[in-house]
Structure 1
Amino acid sequence: MAMTGPLAPWAPGMAEWLTRLGYTPRLVERHLQLAGGLSKFLHRRGLTASDLSQELIEQFAAARRAKNRSRRPTARSLSWLVDYLSDIGVATAPAALPVRSEQQVLIERYRDYLTVERGLVPDTAANYVPVVTLFLAAHPVRELHELSAADVSEFMTSQCRQVSTRGAERLATGLRSFLGFALVEGLISVSLVGAVPSVARWSGATLPRGLTSTQVAALLSSCDRRRPLGRRDYAILLLLVRLGLRAAEVSALRLDDIDWRTGEIVVRGKGRTEERLPLPPDVGAAIAAYLRRGRPRRPEREVFLRACAPLRGLTPDGVSEVARAASERAGLGSFGSHRLRHTAGTQLLQAGASLPEVAEVLRHHTIATTAIYAKVDHLALRDLATPWPGGAR
């Protein structure tokens, strides 16, 4: 059915845009039908394409949901249309922004402080926001000038009862960071960072949970390499388990980062560091197989792309989900990508690598971080055990 209304002149361009994003013909048709409904919605109100705003899209989606309960579109279903009309200069009216509270404004300023002043990447900065949101719910912005050390300690005490040791550490780190920001901004008059108690946790008290060689084989075998998705997931899993890359590092890997002649890759790690690592032949072969017979022919420079439209670079969460899905297929439980990083560290040590060598591959900043892997080498540790008095060793 031909589109009518103020959006009709751009219908062919919409179809081309959606096709470039990787949508199948069937999904292109479905999205155009939704856009056609929006076009009629605008026409009934005497509006043009340039009047399109987020508020109007929300109203249209709400009307469709009320009329047809079997199909419940959301404003996000039409985000591609806003991008397209903005790209061609049609939707020039700025989307209506909701009124932000004092808390939201402060959190945005804090986020900017983390990324600009502290130099944190956006994903890392986002990890601090939930802590600040929780703290400001108990201590509103306008009351921060009255904040005391007792208030900070009381907040930590009440929250730590509800989280794990690891969660308490994240809570303390985030709160110290925010209190430092609050002092810089003049929201508090004295430093309260010292009021945040340290979390009792023995360094190295836990063991890294790696996989056995049999489990690794089962994990890799769960990928159907006859299909493009299987070839992609197989290459990702090999990068995780052979080189110990983090999910964000796999996500950030670009086509230009692979030097096929020297057999090396550039890894963008924590703190915006860039390091070159050797590319093992089996890992390189897996990536090449995906690039030749799996990766869609797209202009994006990220190596690994989403399997479904819109075809964009895979996110760190997407990489971790690849590991999780493979672990469940292989019957190994459910775990993310970091378990495979631990596997790489333990396998390197068991193969005879020294701790400094393991630290270099895993790109640890200090050897103390790597020392935890020494505890999994039970044969080496056995020689350190002293005989029990009066008994067999």
Structure 2
Amino acid sequence: MDVSRGRRRGPVPLVMTGPLSPYESLLRAELASLGYAGSSVTDAVRMMRRLSTWMDRRELALDALEPSKVEEFLAFRRAVCESEPVARRSLGVVIKVLRNAGVVPAPVPTGGGAVEKLLADYGAYLRGERGLAAESVRCYCGQARKFLAALPTPLEASLTRLDAARVTAVIVRHATECDSVWSAKALVTAVRSLLRYLHVDGRIPAPLTGAVPAVAGWRLDSLPRGLTPQQVAALLSAPDLRTPAGQRDRAILVTLARLGLRGAEVAALQLSDIDWHAGEIAVRGKGSRIERLPLPTEVGETLAGYLTDSRPRCSATAVFVTARAPYQALTGTCIRAVMRRACDRAGLPRMGAHRLRHSLATTILRAGAPLPEVGQVLRHRSQLSTTIYAKVDHTALRTLAQPWPEGGAR
């Protein structure tokens, strides 16, 4: 008697057929090396099998799997499956592995290809010749992209005809769309840098930096916008500590709030920067400077908890990495996203990570520390950068206030 009769059999394991069948082991090995969970690897392999079967039925060769065909396959999956976001995510992983291995063609830039090529050259110049940090290069290239996108196509011909009038017109138009004076200042600074590079590289006929109008704004015309201790406490308690990502986010916020670091400096922290025995942490600041700071107990305990309990095991050397594979170092943009999420959960208006730096400075000053000590904590190279915090020292300012004239209007 066949005892197997009547039993419910599980699904028959799929065997990959079609043009992608030789690369299943490549996909598994690559995703495993990147730290993907077993279930994620299985999902990606299933997606590769479906893609390979679809290609086989349409008699598509590997070199025919261009972006248009990938979108066509996604449209097919939408027709037979409702979980398109999951399908797109798994398919994206498969395509990335295949493209990195040279199995299928990479997308050919269209339209903005000339702009992207110029920005790549400009970014290399900023890193190699100017020595800018990665976050600064990203910001400069982002602003430069706005300027270049406003020029007529083809780009090369437009650059040869570029004159002062067009430069001024583009800047004025984009500056009116900026949400703050500092955003407009960032735009004009980046465009001046771009124009210097274009002239040195021989892409524009004359130096046009003088055609970039200045933005009206004064260094000490506003107060530093710090937070109250209650608001800082609300931000620090906002992340969900039941999840690894929440524990990571809290460690980031505590580091920002207690050390007064910039967002890019937190993103750049490496595991080797923390000296647990000496109780110090090395910070890569502006101008590629590396400075050592004392590691407060609260920051050390929070970092140790994240590193031992929540940080994924991976080859990345950064302290803060993504919560899901492939595990990569967080960027300054990611740090800003962490701050935005905390603001939303704490019921506060969205603000940048720099607000916690201002909050630390104003708290120290109001506790009685002199301005030079505040500058040391914030690692200012110039005391002029610290003078703005004198405006929030109300106790010291009262000694400078003139008495109200007797009998004057009240």
Report the equivalent of 1:120. Answer: 132
How much has 1:285 moved relative to structure 2? 0.8
How much has 1:248 moved relative to structure 2? 1.5
1:262 equivalent in alignment to 2:274: no
Per-residue CA distance 1:247-306 (angstroms, 9 max, x = gap):
221111111110011100111122222111110011101111112222222232211222
AA at the equivalent of 2:47: L
State the distance in 2 between where 1:227 and 1:391 align: 64
Q: 1:110 aligns with which of 122, 145, 149?
A: 122
Relative distance call for 1:52 and 1:26 in structure 2 (3 A) is farther
State the distance in 2 between where 1:146 and 1:12 align: 53
Report the equivalent of 1:347. Answer: 363
AA at the equivalent of 2:342: A
Q: 1:64 aligns with which of 74, 99, 102?
A: 74
1:35 equivalent in alignment to 2:45: no
Relative distance call for 1:122 and 1:300 in structure 2 (3 A) is closer
Where 1:266 maps in the other structure, the secondary structure is strand
Where 2:191 maps in the other structure, the secondary structure is helix
Percent identity of equivalent pairs: 44
The answer on whether the counterparts of 1:324 and 1:335 sit within 8 Å (CA) in structure 2 is: yes
AA at the equivalent of 1:300: A
Report the equivalent of 1:307. Answer: 323
State the distance in 1 between where 2:366 and 2:56 align: 70
How much has 1:179 moved relative to structure 2? 1.6
AA at the equivalent of 1:214: Q
Report the equivalent of 2:4. Answer: none
State the distance in 2 between where 1:331 and 1:273 align: 36
Report the equivalent of 1:14. Answer: 27
State the distance in 2 between where 1:176 and 1:318 align: 27
The answer on whether the counterparts of 1:355 and 1:374 sit within 8 Å (CA) in structure 2 is: yes
How much has 1:52 moved relative to structure 2? 5.4
Q: Radius of gyration: which is bigger? A: 2
Structure 1 moving runs of 4+ over 6 Å: 73-76
1:275 equivalent in alignment to 2:286: no
State the distance in 2 between where 1:138 and 1:326 align: 36
State the distance in 2 between where 1:76 and 1:271 align: 38
Report the equivalent of 1:327. Answer: 343
AA at the equivalent of 2:332: P
* 5+ long unaligned stretches in structure 1: none
Which stretch of structure 1 is more off in the superposition, 146-155 or 163-172? Answer: 146-155
Per-residue CA distance 1:55-103 (angstroms, 9 max, x = gap):
535413323324525344687754433554577xx64566353356444
State the distance in 2 between where 1:125 and 1:134 align: 15
Where 1:68 maps in the other structure, the secondary structure is helix
State the distance in 2 between where 1:271 and 1:258 align: 21
Which stretch of structure 1 is more off in the superposition, 282-291 or 325-334? Answer: 325-334
Per-residue CA distance 1:327-357 (angstroms, 9 max, x = gap):
2222223223121111122122222332222
State the distance in 2 between where 1:219 and 1:27 align: 32
Report the equivalent of 2:332. Answer: 316
Q: 2:198 aligns with which of 161, 176, 182?
A: 182
State the distance in 2 between where 1:358 and 1:15 align: 52
The answer on whether the counterparts of 2:281 and 2:293 sit within 8 Å (CA) in structure 1 is: yes
Per-residue CA distance 1:24-83 (angstroms, 9 max, x = gap):
4443332222111222234345567xx457x53541332332452534468775443355
AA at the equivalent of 2:24: A
State the distance in 1 between where 2:376 and 2:341 align: 29
Number of residue pairs aligned between Structure 1 and Structure 2? 388
The answer on whether the counterparts of 1:65 and 1:72 sit within 8 Å (CA) in structure 2 is: no
1:160 equivalent in alignment to 2:195: no
Report the equivalent of 1:132. Answer: 144
Which stretch of structure 1 is more off in the superposition, 238-247 or 39-48? Answer: 39-48
Where 1:261 maps in the other structure, the secondary structure is coil
Where 2:210 maps in the other structure, the secondary structure is helix
